[in-house]
């Protein structure tokens, strides 16, 4: 698993950043953010592109419903396929996933980073920090000493 380019969505205009990093457009997008990010992606999708929709974290912390992207007609104009899915619909494949992922982690094919917050009392702070994007990688609340570190 890799990537060709990256940008800080908090400090860059999304449309400019995607135009720069995806000059030939986007064929496939794994959408987990929604909101303004989805809107910017829809502006760069290629004809016949595909969007796999798994979540919309940009709205998880909102207290009122947020307006959707204003360019949903791009789905029609560009003949984009957008399909939602729930991970647990593929629960029957979890054994294969665990087997494969264990090997990929072991041989270095997959690398990860994590943010560790110590103490169960800091769980709310860690959760809010995750929603604000203050973590790098998986946000973990460590509730006891870890003898492996």
pLDDT tens-place string over residues 84-139: 999 999 999 999 999 999 999 999 999 888 999 999 999 999 999 998 889 988 99
Give the domain extent around 5. Answer: 1-111
Whether residues 99 and 123 fall in one domain: no
Q: What pLDDT does residue 117 have?
A: 95
Whether residues 122 and 49 fall in one domain: no
pLDDT, tens digit (0-9, with 9 covering 90-100), for 26-68? 999 999 989 999 999 999 999 999 999 998 888 877 888 888 8
Domain count, the chain: 2
Structure tokens at 76: 């029609």
Q: What pLDDT does residue 67 have?
A: 83
Q: What pLDDT does residue 92 have?
A: 97
Nearest to 79 by CA among 52, 48, 50, 53: 48
The model's pTM: 0.72
Q: What pLDDT does residue 3 have?
A: 76
Whether residues 62 and 92 fall in one domain: yes
Whether residues 37 and 66 fall in one domain: yes
DSSP code of residue 56: -
């Amino acid at each position: 698993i890799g990537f060709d380019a990256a940008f800080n969505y908090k400090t860059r205009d999304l449309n400019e950043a995607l135009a720069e990093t995806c000059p030939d457009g986007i064929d496939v997008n794994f959408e987990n953010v929604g909101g303004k990010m989805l809107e910017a992606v829809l502006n760069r999708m290629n004809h016949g592109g595909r969007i796999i929709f798994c979540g919309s974290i940009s709205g998880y912390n909102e207290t009122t419903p947020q307006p959707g992207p204003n360019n949903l007609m791009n789905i029609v104009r560009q003949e984009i396929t957008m399909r939602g899915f729930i991970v647990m619909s593929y629960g029957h494949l979890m054994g294969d996933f665990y087997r494969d992922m264990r090997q990929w982690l072991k041989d270095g094919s997959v690398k990860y980073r994590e943010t560790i917050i110590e103490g169960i009392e800091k769980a709310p702070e860690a959760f809010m920090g995750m929603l604000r994007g203050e973590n790098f990688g998986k946000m973990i609340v460590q509730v006891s000493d870890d003898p492996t570190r």
